[in-house]
Structure 1
Amino acid sequence: MTRFRLAILDDYQQVSSDYAPWESLLDDDVKVTVFSAPFVSEEQAVAALAPFDIVVAMRERTRFPGHVLEALPNLKLLVTTGMNNAAIDMDTASERGITVCGTGGSPAAAPELTWALLLAFARNLVAEETSLRAGGWQTAVGFELEGKTLGIVGLGKIGTRIARYAKAFGMEVLAWSQNLTEEAAKAVGARGVSKEELFRESDVVTLHVRLSERTEGIVGEEELRLLGPEGVLVNTARGPLVDEAALMRALEEGWIRGAALDVFDEEPLPAGHALLHSPRSVLSPHIGYVTHESYRQFYGGAFEDVKAWLDGEPLRVLND
């Protein structure tokens, strides 16, 4: 008789079994079910997950607010990839006796994707490739990064790597966050400035702060207008950091030069969404952490968490 039922969520590429031996959990009387398609609503998620004792969530692809957790009577272990997940109500999980565990991750995946998007935007790579494959040739004139100013919002682990990349490309680096000190900025070769100065003086602004109540909407109309008609916004952090309506107006009306985005308010981005048709933009489907190296950490770590919990010694507990 099966002791536990385990759900692996949002395995978009159907690769979770490539990175961890989930089938071996049968020896522990654990039945594993993989969900590759996203749930379209909280109601659908609750209906599908109600029988499960263990859930492995891929980042914030599926949300677990308090009322969802309360509707999952069998849930005992919730594993999130990474060590932070703003989509899980930790207090409710603790109140209901649900253990929440995390995993490691790749420090290079998101910064590299950030730089790839910036380079793609600067040299019009998407439009040029589309033209070439359609039988055309050169269609526009790009710009160089050397000599430009990069503004970094959030100088943590990812922002610090971005600062190093920018220096290697011959860029001046500005930095701002709500808690950033001048000493911390200088330590990575950046100049600490105010938020207003950063958006006014930068040619490119890239976002690398965690989403929270105080950072939601941290970039709005005022900041986009300060960035100006030659400025570029890059966001590989979280969609709600930016006022999406203001950003779409900025792209349509030319307040800024353009945007390179990997994250959105609603994910997956619905067909027909206005951003899909916005001019002067390069878009990718939240692939900042989607690498072999990252998935080995995510799925491998999740498997370790499940095995440790089954043995009564949970690892990397986030809601002690």
Structure 2
Amino acid sequence: MAVQIAVIDDWQDVARDVVDWSVLDSIGEVTFLHDYPADRDTLTERLQRFDVICVMRERTRFDEELLRRLPNLKLLLTGGMRNAALDLKAAATLGIQVCGTESYKHAAPELTWALIMALSRNLVPEANALRAGLWQQGLGGDLYGKTLAILGLGSIGTRVAQFGQVFGMRVIAWSENLTAERAAAAGVQYVSKQALFEQADILSIHLVLSERSRGLVDAQALGRMKPEALLVNTARGPIVDEAALIDALRHKRLAGAALDVFAVEPLPPEHPFRTLDNVLATPHAGYVSRQNYRQFYGQMIEDLQAWAAGKPIRVLTAAG
């Protein structure tokens, strides 16, 4: 009997075209679903018949309740090797295999830098003004000689730091596990947490979301920043206290923010980040690139083939 395979979270209707799914014809039938996450009953009805579900990282939430309502589910495949929306412990208890994929490492740093440049030079307001028949509305900011503060100097943060160095910026960094030696190896100055916020002309966030990092950029941290500073978040929304950030932006205690991630996604229609004039917001597009999707979906196919052969690869298990 053919394995029933669902590719969900395909909001842009692109999954079928970025890789060749026909290689799975000998294993089963692939169905593409483009719906946004829905209520539990709708999800259960939508996904009930599938043996294998391919998900995009941190879109639809698969908690224990939903997993228990999908008795046919045998395999979950996710983009990335981490997915906070999947209850790996419950999946293991229910005998559901979970496998991941590697990520294309360049997409997020490139988007981060696009946001830094667009925000600092007021590119969106200037471009919109030009379309409206206007010309040269204000002064853009400069990067050369300014301080780029990196919160989280992992693989993405390090790449963003390298871009900053190319632009002649002074680059500083802090995170709980960062050492002066590791920072120096990347050509970056290690500073204290307090100094990171105080000295930043541009603060770029690149931490993994955890209980330690949740809400780390709070009202106190934002209060240390220069009123002319910019904040850029392409990591995870909950790392920043949204209410505190909105308050700082509304009262111009912070010059602007470029945000690709939010506490609730998709961003609610009436959210202030959609209308504040000193916010540049994008719809979690950091990993939404052609090359990254090719890698995600291509490796999901490899995972599925390996699982069907009884030799699963890139297996994800609950920590501890």
| TM-score normalised by the chain length of structure 2 | 0.96
Q: Distance in 2 between the 1:109 and 1:303 partners?
A: 21
Matches within 5 A, 1:1-320: 2-28=1-27, 30-319=28-317
- Bigger shift: 105-114 or 187-196? 187-196
Question: Could you tell me how far apart the structure 2 residues matched to 1:220 and 1:178 are?
Answer: 16
Question: For residue 109 of structure 2, what is the amino acid of its counterpart?
Answer: P
SS of residue matched to 1:144: coil
- TM-aligned CA deviation for residue 189 of structure 1: 1.1
Question: Do 1:251 and 1:279's aligned partners in 2 also have CA atoms closer than 8 Å?
Answer: no
Q: SS state of the match for residue 227, structure 1?
A: coil
CA contact (8 A) 2:200 2:226 kept: no
Aligned residues: 318
Q: Deviations over 1:102-140 (max 9, x none)?
A: 112211100000000000001100000100011111111
What secondary structure is seen at the aligned counterpart in 2 of 1:46? helix
Measure the CA separation in 2 of the matches of 1:23 and 1:206. Answer: 41
Looking at structure 2, the residues matched to 134 and 44 of structure 1 have their Cα atoms a distance apart, in angstroms, of: 43
Cα distance, 1:20–1:148 mapped onto 2, change above 3 Å: same
Cα drift, residue 215 of structure 1: 1.0
Provide the secondary structure at the position in 2 that maps to 1:18: helix
Range moving further from structure 2, 268-277 or 236-245: 268-277
**Distance apart, 1:174 and its partner CA:** 1.0
Per-residue deviation, residues 175-218 of structure 1 (Å, max 9, x unmatched) = 11111111111111111112111001111111101111111111
Unaligned 5+ segments in structure 1 are none
What secondary structure, in the 3-state scheme, does the structure 2 residue paired with 1:185 have?
A: helix
- 2:224 match: secondary structure: helix
Using the TM superposition, give the Cα deviation of residue 158 of structure 1 relative to its aligned residue in structure 2, in angstroms: 0.2
| Identity over aligned pairs, percent | 49
Contact 1:106 1:297 in 2 (8 A): yes
CA distance in 1, matches of 2:170, 2:306: 47
Is the CA contact 1:20–1:303 (under 8 Å) kept in the aligned structure 2?
no
| Structure-1-length-normalised TM-score | 0.96
For the residue of structure 2 that corresponds to 1:27, the secondary structure is coil
Can you give the 5+ residue segments of structure 2 that lack an aligned partner in the other structure?
none
Determine helix, strand or coil for the equivalent of 2:173: strand
Q: Deviations over 1:243-299 (max 9, x none)?
A: 111111111111101100111111111222221011211111111111111111011
Distance 2:31 2:10 in 1: 11
User: What amino acid maps onto 2:291 in structure 1?
Assistant: E
User: How many angstroms apart in 1 are the aligned matches of 2:19 and 2:313?
Assistant: 16
Query: 1:239 Cα shift?
Result: 0.8
Residues 47 and 213 of structure 1, relative CA distance in 2, 3 Å threshold: farther
CA distance in 1, matches of 2:65, 2:194: 39
RMSD: 1.3
Deviations 1:136-190 (A, max 9, x none): 1111111111111011111110011011111111111111111111111111111
